[in-house]
Amino acid sequence: MMRENPADLLPELLVLGAAVMGLLAGSFLPRARQWIVGLLCAIGLAGGLVAAAFAARRTDLMTFDAFMLDPVTHVTRVVVLAATLLVIVLAMSPMRGHRRESEFYVLILLAALGTIALGATSDLLVLVAAYLLASIPGYALAGFGKDAPGTEAALKYFLMGAFLGILMLTGVTLLYGLGRGTSYEMLRAELGTAPDGAVTVGVVLLLAGLLFKAGAVPAHFWVPDVTEGAPPVVAAFVTTVPKIGAFAALYRFAAEALPPGAGDWPPLIAIIATATMTLGNLAAFAQDNVRRLLAYSTVSQAGYLLVPIAVAGRTDLAEPALLFYLAAYAVTNVGAFAVVIAVGRDDLAAYGALVRRSRLLAISLVICLLGLVGTPPAAVFVGKLLMFGAALDGRYAWLAVVAAVNSVASVFYYLRWIVPAFTGDAEQGRGLDRVAQWTACLAAAGSLALGVGSGVALTIG
């Protein structure tokens, strides 16, 4: 008996409702009062968060034959909605009075909606639809500033997304043919008997799209350009939120659609993970632009996030590792971008003696960056701990060693940013963005709270 209760999708419906109402209201409101749309969207997100939190208390079930309500979905929902809410708050002051202010909020909400669907679906066709919904607003957002770097970024983002989306669609078609269906249940039952080589080709093609969303090698080329070229708020969004849905989708596909041993999944993902973290780190070394530095840092973080995906189904630690790491990464990464937005400059020199301009902001920067390294007690530490545990328990000890070496290497470029903030010469920049400053502090505090309170978070999740 198929369950079709719209109330199961209450968080999504709230976000969709806010987006639609925002679009309508935005058409009538004068420019000076467009901020009401932002408020409306924030309320929609907050309502969605509450609804998602209540939904997380119920038993697992599947609704509309394609939408799973299980811990992966709950965490995806909560993290996506919370991160999007933070981004909306960050956008309030830079977007204030912008000619397309209401469109900005609506596009962000629609992309977030697509991201949730991406992580929650257990059907390949819905996966493709969710991919498009998560991507297309993203392209528009990348070019939002209508300037040369933004346009270049948007074009690059769009072309890569369209190309890899087509590959993904081909993979879906192939898997549909091999598995006689698009639902993960069906695929798991049928793919075991299908020709192994063909399944591998289908899986690789499907990966193209998901790795694009995740910002992983070899589909990572858009990440630095979009992060640098798009407005900073958009950069914070596209390097944080779509990843969450992509990793949830990757995990779900590995755990629910692939029969054990099919498609050479673990070695394939392990190699991609190694390449992603290593290339991300190597490229980050020489960056003098903090946004490019953060962009490559998010690429390397994607590599660590791929580790639990590689051992999905081989250890009980894979799921908590992935979900906790996602939440930890989201709050820490948004915090780091909030510092960039607060300072308003991209070159490393602008961060000289930041501690003298705002002690709290400098400390937030340290907590977020050392948090990304995996220093306890920040949240990413617990994520990395679970990730190492999952790799060792899943018999991928070499992958844990690679991840450890990469973590050490990453210290180098994060410190290049931290050190001048405390010792460098003060450069008289413009004032700090107050809202972004408090968001950065909030995110840093959240990262610490999530790390220290990880016991509580893991018990609920």
Partner 1 sequence: MNVLSLVIFLPLAVGLGLYAVPRLGARAVTWTWIAACAVDLALVAAMWIGHGTDGGISYETDARWIPSVRAGYHIGVDGLSLPLLALTSLLFLACAIYSLRQERQVRAFAALFLFLQTVSLGLFAALDLLLFFVFFDLSIVGMYFVIAGWGHGDRTRSALKFFLYTFLGSLVLLLGFIGLYLGAEPHTFDMVELTRTPPLAGSAGLAGLVLLAIGTGLAIKTPTVPFHTWLPPAHTDAPAAGSAILAGILLKMGTYGFVRIAMPMLPDAWRRYAWVIIIVGVISVLYGALVAYAQEDLKRLVAYTSVNHMGYIIVALGAAGAAGDQAARRLAVTGAVTQMVSHGLITGALFLLAGVLYGRAGTYDMGRFGGLAGRAPVFSALVAAGAFASLGLPGFSGFIAEFQIFTGVIGSGGAGLAVVGALAIVGILITAALFLRLLHRAVLGPPGELTARVTDLRPSEAGAIVPLLLLAVVIGVAPRLLLDVIEPISATVVSLVAR
Interface residues toward partner 1, by CB under 8 A? 320, 359, 370, 373, 375-377, 381-382, 385-386, 388-389, 392-393, 400-401, 404-405, 407-408, 411-412, 415, 419, 422-423, 454-455, 458-459
- Phi/psi zone of residue 261: left (φ > 0), alpha (ψ -120 to 50 degrees), beta? left
Nearer to partner 1, 392 or 449 (CB): 392
Nearer to partner 1, 166 or 397 (CB): 397
* Torsion angle of C-alpha atoms 325, 330, 335, 337, degrees rounded to 10: 120
Nearer to partner 1, 182 or 375 (CB): 375
Instruction: Kindly report whether the peptide bond that precedes residue 377 is cis, defined as omega within 30 degrees of 0.
Output: yes
Strands (E), 290-380: none
In a 13 Å sphere around the CA of 57, the CA atoms on its Cβ side amount to 4
Estimate the crossing angle of helix 434-452 against helix 71-95, to 10 degrees. Answer: 160
Kindly give the residue spans of alpha helices, DSSP state H, lying in 286-317.
290-310
Nearer to partner 1, 171 or 389 (CB): 389
CA distances (Å), 99 to each of 28, 104, 106, 273, in order? 13, 10, 14, 41
CA distance 25 to 461: 36
Count Cβ atoms within 10 A of the Cβ of residue 16 and give its class: 0-12 exposed, 13-18 middle, 19 or more buried. Answer: middle
Q: Measured from the CB of residue 249, what is the shortest distance to partner 1 in angstroms?
A: 24
Give the CA diameter of the chain: 68
Nearer to partner 1, 159 or 456 (CB): 456
Q: Are 318 and 308 in contact (CB under 8 A)?
A: yes
Question: DSSP state, 57?
Answer: T
Q: Measured from the CB of residue 113, what is the shortest distance to partner 1 in angstroms?
A: 31
Estimate the crossing angle of helix 318-343 against helix 241-252, to 10 degrees. Answer: 170
| Phi then psi dihedrals of residue 422, to 5 deg | -105, -30
Residue holding tokens 């257990």? 122
Nearer to partner 1, 165 or 461 (CB): 461
Q: Measured from the CB of residue 125, what is the shortest distance to partner 1 in angstroms?
A: 35
Q: Are 316 and 385 in contact (CB under 8 A)?
A: no
Q: Measured from the CB of residue 454, what is the shortest distance to partner 1 in angstroms?
A: 5
Q: Measured from the CB of residue 164, what is the shortest distance to partner 1 in angstroms?
A: 33
Q: Measured from the CB of residue 444, what is the shortest distance to partner 1 in angstroms?
A: 15
CA-based nearest residue to 87, from 363, 390, 451, 435: 435
Q: Measured from the CB of residue 277, what is the shortest distance to partner 1 in angstroms?
A: 13
Nearer to partner 1, 167 or 409 (CB): 409
CA distances (Å), 15 to each of 10, 338, 456, in order? 9, 23, 27
Nearer to partner 1, 422 or 438 (CB): 422
Q: Measured from the CB of residue 381, what is the shortest distance to partner 1 in angstroms?
A: 8
Nearer to partner 1, 54 or 398 (CB): 398
Nearer to partner 1, 16 or 385 (CB): 385
CA-based nearest residue to 114, from 221, 2, 209, 227: 209
Q: Measured from the CB of residue 133, what is the shortest distance to partner 1 in angstroms?
A: 34
Q: Measured from the CB of residue 33, what is the shortest distance to partner 1 in angstroms?
A: 40
